[in-house]
Amino acid sequence: VLRVAVVGATGAVGREVCRLLDERVPEVGALVPFASAASAGRDLAAEWGLRTPTAPVGAVDGDAIAGADVAVLCAGIGVSLALGDDLAASGCLVVDNSSAFRMRDDVPLVVPEVNPEAIATRPASGIVANPNCSTIQLVRVLDPLRRAAGLEAVDVATYQAASGGGLRGLAEVQAATADLLAGGDGGGGRGGRFGQPLALNLVPQIGALDGDGMAHEEHKLRREPRKILALPELRVTATAVRVPVLHCHSEAVTLRLGRPVPREGLEAVLAATSGLCVHRSSDRPPFPMPRFVARCDDGRARVHVGRVRVDAEDPRTVQCWIVADNLWVGAALNATGILAHAVGRGWLG
Amino acid sequence: VLRVAVVGATGAVGREVCRLLDERVPEVGALVPFASAASAGRDLAAEWGLRTPTAPVGAVDGDAIAGADVAVLCAGIGVSLALGDDLAASGCLVVDNSSAFRMRDDVPLVVPEVNPEAIATRPASGIVANPNCSTIQLVRVLDPLRRAAGLEAVDVATYQAASGGGLRGLAEVQAATADLLAGGDGGGGRGGRFGQPLALNLVPQIGALDGDGMAHEEHKLRREPRKILALPELRVTATAVRVPVLHCHSEAVTLRLGRPVPREGLEAVLAATSGLCVHRSSDRPPFPMPRFVARCDDGRARVHVGRVRVDAEDPRTVQCWIVADNLWVGAALNATGILAHAVGRGWLG
């Protein structure tokens, strides 16, 4: 029986991982959820209607987790750093959702639709890293375009949803928005899950700033696509902004291709790519929107791209608008895909 | 007595124009407001506490408006196209807020802080165009940077507030958001003031799309800075997005300067520029946010810029985050500034 530990199971991403493993990976014979001590003992199978045999939630404990064949870590960078290498050393395959190991040379950083060759064999480190949510949806669109036309530079501005701040972030922005609209002060001062109030507002900083003023999320958007696409020289500039939307990250992207391709050709390339949903210039509207992507289960499983346009003044400059569910496409589905790949390759016995 | 007609006086911009003329331009001796027939007869002085003698609202009528010394047109492109040239021919100075005349060679496109030389003399056309809201806040920041370091290219992604859709747009998004948060459907289907539902959503299209897929707002962001800055070769790419924020447009900007300048130098250049408020890298937080700019009258009169950063990999690449009140800085204050300039130059007798 394949035993999969989900660490941080009761969080926004962990919950989706449990549900997707239950629904979509029949080889999983047992789910073993872990979370903070406050959640210990919860019966997630009953709460969420899981059919896979599921242990009661255990408090996070390295030895207990190491009993599983696979550990999907969704509890943040601290837990990943504390447990990742020891779990791998004990023989457990680690699929890590945090940024703890992504840039390590011995850890593949994988988007199954883009660079499955990075896990052609089980990595010696025992760890596979899941990229950042905003990276995944970006490279899913960049990859077919660079295969078709080459890729020299990317400038991206993000519009990131509250669900990136977890269940607490979602609850916070919903309560504060309702309060503001009712004439209240939205819960008052600064602080909270996003560092600043997000309700009816924009917070143009995600993650800590470095000495040059670049935010951690912006570093991820620069480094991770280079590694995933194996384009170490790719020029990437990014501004990461939290917006008062509940689900699904959006990105306004300006690309510099290696050679010009007409818009219809670019749309055709994207439409021929598995897992993408192209909102063509002939569609009404010719773009995806986060609220509608979030509502539709089928939509949540795909990366949506629209408003593809070629600059009339400079045909190697291309722009587009990308929307995907950050919890599914940007985290849980990608991790599930890595696990399904490992199962398919027979890594897990 | 200087008589100023405000056409579209009861709209979101017209209301701010009336208030600012009343408070800040003492030479205005009479306000003569015009609006649709439904608003005719309203006593705006009483409604809004204006001290300037103010006529009852009249229904839009070219002959009546022509009796004023100045007409500030805030009723949309249709009214501007229908009345602009005739008003100017009758001797009325036209300050137009629409896109009707902005690109006409005989019409200066003016941001008083940036290119007052464009109205060193009264234009023979009798028309001065007020730029687009998202243009004004952008060029207010670009101008000092290009003076200091040259400017080759601009890529901008906008985060535009609901107030750009007028009082009806504001009411629509507030009602729909409250309904969604209470478990409703947010008023249901597509359509409405933004073409698509904006509540807890993003609408990545502002204005009609051309055959290349470029939106009208994005054309404005390309053409207008070139004319205002007298940089016809400036490379500009833009994505214009409506966000569920009530007031103040925000912009994520990536610039290509002519020569590198350290971040502290760029911040110093901006801080020395009249009308800018720089949120420095040493400030906490080092960025402005639309909800807090909108709440503060002093803040509403300035263009806020923060997160200024120089790319460590390519020091001529600079990024920043710009926030300004689109109704004040982006429309009413700029138009008022043009009118004050005309008064100061003695154009109005």
Residues with Cβ < 8 Å from A339, sequence gap 6 or more? Answer: A4, A21, A25, A28, A70, A72, A95
Mean pLDDT of the region A216-220: 98
Instruction: Determine the Cα–Cα distance for residues B5 and B84; give it in Å rounded to an integer.
Output: 13
Distance from CA of B204 to the nearest CA of A (A): 7
Inter-chain contact B159–A202, Cβ cutoff 8 Å?
yes
B303-310 and B317-324 strand pairing: antiparallel
What is the distance, to the nearest Å, from the Cα of residue B339 to the centroid of all Cα atoms in its chain? Answer: 15
Summarised one tens digit per residue, pLDDT across range A101-133 is 999 999 999 999 999 999 999 999 999 999 999
A133 is catalytic: yes
Question: Prior bond to B285 cis, omega within 30?
Answer: yes
Which chain A residues are within 8 Å of B235, Cβ to Cβ? 313-314
Cβ atoms of A129 and A110 within 8 Å: the answer is yes
Angstrom CA distances, B332 to A230, B24, B73, B117, B329, stand at 50, 12, 11, 20, 7
Cβ atoms of A203 and A194 within 8 Å: the answer is yes
Inter-chain contact B263–A309, Cβ cutoff 8 Å?
no
Summarised one tens digit per residue, pLDDT across range B222-238 is 999 999 999 999 999 99
Cβ atoms of B236 and B254 within 8 Å: the answer is no
Instruction: Determine the Cα–Cα distance for residues A37 and A18; give it in Å rounded to an integer.
Output: 18
Closest in B202, B241, B307 to A213, CB measured: B307
Closest in B237, B314, B321 to A319, CB measured: B237
What strand order describes the sheet that includes B235-239? B235-239, B151-159, B249-257, B317-324, B303-310, B276-279
β-sheet bridge partners, residue A250: A159, A323
Instruction: Determine the Cα–Cα distance for residues B213 and B68; give it in Å rounded to an integer.
Output: 41
What is the distance, to the nearest Å, from the Cα of residue B311 to the centroid of all Cα atoms in its chain? Answer: 29
Instruction: Determine the Cα–Cα distance for residues A300 and A16; give it in Å rounded to an integer.
Output: 12
Tokens standing for residue B94: 């036209």
Which chain B residues are within 8 Å of A280, Cβ to Cβ? none
Instruction: Determine the Cα–Cα distance for residues A246 and B206; give it in Å rounded to an integer.
Output: 22
Inter-chain contact B204–A235, Cβ cutoff 8 Å?
no
DSSP three-state, residue B88: helix
| N residues, chain A | 349
Other C-beta atoms closer than 10 Å to the C-beta of A152 total 15
Inter-chain contact B181–A182, Cβ cutoff 8 Å?
no
DSSP three-state, residue B154: strand
* pTM as predicted: 0.97
Cβ atoms of A243 and A160 within 8 Å: the answer is yes
Burial annotation B199-227 (CB, 10 A radius, 16+ → b, else e): bbbbbbbbbebeeebbbbbbbbbbbbbbb
Residue B108 burial class via C-beta count within 10 angstroms: exposed 0-12, middle 13-18, buried 19 and up = buried
B249-257 and B317-324 strand pairing: antiparallel
Summarised one tens digit per residue, pLDDT across range A68-100 is 999 999 999 999 999 999 999 999 999 999 999
Q: What is the pLDDT along chain B (349 residues), one digit of tens a residue?
A: 999 999 999 999 999 999 999 999 999 999 999 999 999 999 999 999 999 999 999 999 999 999 999 999 999 999 999 999 999 999 999 999 999 999 999 999 999 999 999 999 999 999 999 999 999 999 999 999 999 999 999 999 999 999 999 999 999 999 999 999 999 999 866 678 999 999 999 999 999 999 999 999 999 999 999 999 999 999 999 999 999 999 999 999 999 999 999 999 999 999 999 999 999 989 999 999 999 999 888 889 999 999 999 999 999 999 999 999 999 999 999 999 999 999 999 998 7
DSSP three-state, residue B167: helix
Inter-chain contact A212–B309, Cβ cutoff 8 Å?
yes
pLDDT of residue A191: 75
Instruction: Determine the Cα–Cα distance for residues A326 and A331; give it in Å rounded to an integer.
Output: 6
A74 is catalytic: no
Instruction: Determine the Cα–Cα distance for residues A90 and B144; give it in Å rounded to an integer.
Output: 59
Closest in A235, A290, A309 to B202, CB measured: A290
- The 3-state secondary structure of A195-235 reads CCCCCCCCECCCCCECCCCCEHHHHHHHHHHHHHHCCCCCE
